[in-house]
Structure 1
Amino acid sequence: MTGRAVAAEMLSLESALRQLVKVVQRTPVELASPNGALGRYAAGDVRAKRSQPCADLSAMDGFAVAGTEPWTVVGESRCGAPFGGPIGPGQAAHISTGAVIPEGASAVLIKENAQLSDHTLQAIEHPEDGAHIRRKGFDFATGEQVIAAGQRIGPAQLALLIAAGCDAINVGRPPRISILECGDELDAKAAKPGQLPPSNGAMLAAMCASQACETTVSAPLPDDLGAIAEAIETAGSADLIVISGGASVGDHDLVRPALKSIGVEPDFWRVAIKPGKPLLVARRQKQLILGLPGNPVSSFVTGFMFMLPAIRAMLGARDPWPARMYLPAAHDLPPVGPRREFLRATIAPDGAIPLDQQDSSALLALSKASCLIERPEHCGGLKAGTPVPVYLLGNGGNA
């Protein structure tokens, strides 16, 4: 990789995300069954191989009727056992929800509106033509696009693919993610003053579990340039290396020097967000490298805003960015300085409530947060009740 100059100024969030898109490379496309595609993204448009429904079906339990009343009931159509022929004017057939409409029937008289005496049927309320009939192909027809390129295959899309007769689709291969955690202070027992259990790697791996990827977490690395460089090179088969800690400017923040020692220069470094300023993005041939801050909340926020979108982009997502919605601010919010702020918050009936503790090391507060409130840089104070952008985390008590 040729060296690239890293701007001394911090990038805005939007600029950083645009640059991230430029350096992310999609994983190779492979063919997968609908079940195998779950959680991944379609690599191309998918078209139905059958129509749904494949015939006119009843939407209700009752009677398929032809012509005007009274009707003579001449048989039954049920799921898996259609009526064995057409019905003519003045005739009707018992019918179940989802059963095929007999040829000649013009409507379904629902059971609640039917009066049946022996085989003679009359209506309490006469159905309009076409009432309670699901027409052939009303959901989708053979050849119709059912999944768009870049669309995520979730439970509903899985059912759709199966119903549409699509036994295999093209999707991106699950990215291989290698997570490294740096810091001399990291020790599983944390028996000495100043030591910490290594929790960021496990947290980031758990975040990755929401995506279709293969994740490994290495043992904590010391603040040693050679050890960090060796770990990066050892993870050569990974599509994405995520390094938590060591990306800032301290004497023992050695991720950038370690990258430089193996010929890698950052594409960008430092983003104007709080928490999460010392974010680093680099590329080593086809491999993406993300250096995240070591403070756990900073690591979480940058993982949410950059790591997860990078994985989704690798998988071919049409829109890899986290979904944003608006809720009222439940409390007044103070002005914001030169960095975009992401406040940990909970959701209540009157809106989003920022947590009292916003320190970037506060895991207890993070565990209670169900959303992030986004506050633009250099914005003024805000009155309670004003809509604010929020990102749902799927985390915390009321998520």
Structure 2
Amino acid sequence: MNKYIKIINYICSEEMISVEEAKDLIVKYGTKLPIKEKSLNEAQNAVLAEDVLAPINLPPFRQSAMDGYAVNLSPKSDHYTIIGEVAAGESNSQELKIGEGVRIFTGAAVPDSANAVIMQEWVTKKANHIVLNSNAKELKNNMNIRPLGEQVQKGTLALSKGIQLNSSALGFIQSFGMEQIKVYKSPSISLIITGNEIVLPGNSLPFGSIYESNSLTLKTALNNAGYNDITINYAQDNLDEMKQKIERAMNTSDVVLVSGGISVGDYDFTKTAFEILEVKEHFHKIAQKPGKPLFFGSKESTSFFGLPGNPASALVCLYEYVIPHMLYRTGAQNPMPTTIQLPLKHDYLKRGERSQFLKAKINANNVEILDGQASSMLHTFALANCLVYIPSNLTSISKGEFVEVHLIR
């Protein structure tokens, strides 16, 4: 009984930490996940676990940058004799004398004896000769030729560990002829949605109930960030059921997310269940709006987040804390949200002392804080493409002043 009294007393306390302290803690208590080898086809959004050194030069030969004619420049004539052709993928290299050239196409190997590629729009072809047109610019050595190793030279650093692999990075690695890469394991995630009031879509809606939407909101946001190993469960506002669902999840997942039941109501049992299961608490309340009640803890190698039940609050906490924590655990160099500075479209007066994350929209040359900032409102989030962060020490911002903007992944 004393244990439960202690828990309830703590839940009722108003001790809060700052946003900055919370972000430090999600990194401090983030243990790295194992490294594994994956095929490039399976590595989308994974984080690179080792430096990639170029095994070959890119390009691996002198390469034509356009369709035209590879020539051995003649300083005394604007006429060239064309003695052959080189298409992309062909390996023949013809010896060119001064004043000679070959027809060549973009991406093809430039003959060693050629020192320029003349774009086809600059010449007129007559039989096996070309003549420079009047619109031709001065011909220079190595013009329109991509040099050997222009992108990256053999043995040098191609990509640093810690970057998240997007489609361009994967294509770049494959251009070396590589098929496998070492990356950090993507976390397995258990998402537990709580609440006696929620009803799954497709069922009739009794008075006083709401259709459940947090599972889809959070799951798709996690998918967009590159996390797909997600198990979803539901729990009533019942301590024994909460404990069982969380215990089952912690035995099979790297990260456990519980949506709801983390505040101070009579039916909020999430933090109590964490305590009974001996999850080490790192913080429970942050001086922010929305998302003041946010739990973060750990037990062995599993991380635990107790998210608010209000949809917009839960999504803000996911973007600002959960995803950065998982990015850190998977070795990302820069796990925090991408941040830019933009001028505010209008005046803004902040009410209260807490820091604020405001749903906003980036326009052509400024950022606009949207109406409808209540923690329950997803509609505004549907229109937003960023969050504006207002720190606790600011009370008002004038039109045109620069604000901190967090891009939504």
For this structure pair, what is the TM-score category when the shorter chain's length is used for normalisation?
over 0.9
Q: Does 2:47 align with 1:41? A: yes
Secondary structure, aligned partner of 2:32:
coil
Instruction: Give per-residue Cα distances to partners, 1:91-111, cap 9 Å, x unaligned.
Output: 111111111111211111111
Unaligned runs of 5+ in 1: 395-399
Q: 2-side partners of 1:93 and 1:115: how far apart?
A: 14
Give the drift of 1:350: 5.0
CA distance in 1, matches of 2:289, 2:204: 28
Q: Give 3-state SS (helix, strand or coil) of 2:271's partner.
A: helix
Shift of 1:67: 3.2
Give the deviation of 1:332 after TM superposition: 0.7
Q: CA deviation at 1:207?
A: 1.1
- Structure 2 counterpart of 1:259, from 274, 280, 288: 274
Tell me if structure 1 keeps the 8 A contact 2:346–2:398: yes
Aligned residue for 2:185? Answer: 173
Higher mean C-alpha displacement, 248-257 vs 342-351: 342-351
Q: Which residue of 2 aligns with 1:331?
A: 346
> TM-score, structure 1 length as denominator?
0.93
Task: Give TM-score, length-normalised by structure 2.
Answer: 0.91
Quick one: which of 311, 315, 321 aligns to 1:300?
315
| Equivalent residues, number | 391
Shift of 1:161: 0.5
Aligned partner of 2:150: which letter?
F
Offset at 1:160?
0.4
Tell whether 2:197 aligns with 1:185: yes
Cα RMSD after superposing both structures: 2.0
Q: Which amino acid aligns with 2:44?
A: L
- Aligned AA (2:46): R
Letter aligned with residue 289 of structure 1: F
1:341 to 333, 351, 356: 356
Secondary structure of the equivalent of 1:157? helix
Choose which of 11, 26, 37 in structure 2 pairs with 1:31.
Answer: 37
- Residue 332 (structure 2) aligns with: 317
| Equivalence for 2:247 | 233
User: d(CA) in 1 for partners of 2:299 and 2:328?
Assistant: 17
Post-superposition offset of 1:279: 0.5
For 2:389, which of 360, 365, 374 is the aligned residue? Answer: 374
Q: Which residue of 2 aligns with 1:54?
A: 60
Moved more, 301-310 or 77-86: 77-86
The question of whether the paired residues in 1 share the 8 Å contact of 2:199 and 2:210 is answered with yes
2-side partners of 1:300 and 1:104: how far apart?
61
Query: What is the alpha-carbon distance in structure 1 between the residues aligned to residue 161 and residue 104 of structure 2?
Result: 39
In structure 2, distance between residues paired with 1:90 and 1:282: 74
Counterpart of 2:73? 67
Deviation (angstroms), 1:82: 4.2
Deviates more, 1:189-198 or 1:356-365: 189-198
Q: Distance in 1 between matches of 2:364 and 2:328?
A: 34
3-state SS in 2 of match to 1:209: helix
Instruction: Write the distance in 2 (CA, Å) between the matches of 1:250 and 1:348.
Output: 40
2:209 aligned partner: 195
Residue 40 of structure 1 deviates from its aligned partner by 0.2
Read off the aligned partner of 2:23 and give its amino acid letter: L
Q: Which residue of 2 aligns with 1:397?
A: none
- Higher mean displacement: 270-279 or 90-99: 90-99
Equivalent position of 2:123 in the other structure: 114
Q: Which runs of 5+ in 2 are unaligned?
A: 1-5
Amino acid at match of 1:131: M
For residue 22 of structure 2, what is the aligned residue in structure 1?
Answer: 16
Match of 1:223 in 2: 237
Q: Which amino acid aligns with 1:172?
A: Y
Per mean C-alpha deviation after superposition, the further-off stretch among 7-16 and 223-232 is: 7-16
* Contact 1:48 1:166 (C-alpha < 8 Å) held by counterparts: no
1:17 match: secondary structure: helix
2:118 maps to 1:103: no
Give, in whole Å, the separation in 2 of the partners of 1:101 and 1:265: 64
Helix, strand or coil for the counterpart of 1:263? Answer: coil
In structure 1, the partner of 2:3 is: none
Structure-to-structure mapping, 1:72-83, within 5 angstroms: 72-83=81-92
Deviation, 1:190, is 6.0
What is the correspondence of 1:242-281 to structure 2 with a 5 Å cutoff? 242-281=257-296
Question: Closer, same or farther in 2 for the Cα pair 1:136/1:350, shift >3 Å?
Answer: closer
Q: Which moved more, 1:123-132 or 1:176-185?
A: 123-132
Which deviates more from structure 2 when the two are superposed, residues 266-275 or residues 310-319? 310-319
Counterparts of 1:381 and 1:147, CA distance in 2? 43
Tell me the percent identity: 30
Whole-angstrom distance in 2 between the partners of 1:95 and 1:82: 12
State the Cα deviation string for residues 204-227 of structure 1 (Å, max 9, x = none).
1111112234001112x1111111
With 99-108 and 378-387 compared, the bigger mean Cα shift is at 378-387
Deviations 1:178-228 (A, max 9, x none): 001111212224622221122112211111112234001112x11111111
**Alignment pair present for 1:128 and 2:128:** no
Q: Distance in 2 between matches of 1:362 and 1:37?
A: 35
- The 1-side partners of 2:159 and 2:141 are apart by 33
Say if 1:244 and 1:293, in contact at 8 Å, map to a contact too. yes
The alpha carbon displacement at 1:118 in A equals 2.3
Within 5 A, what are the aligned runs for 1:127-166?
127-166=139-178
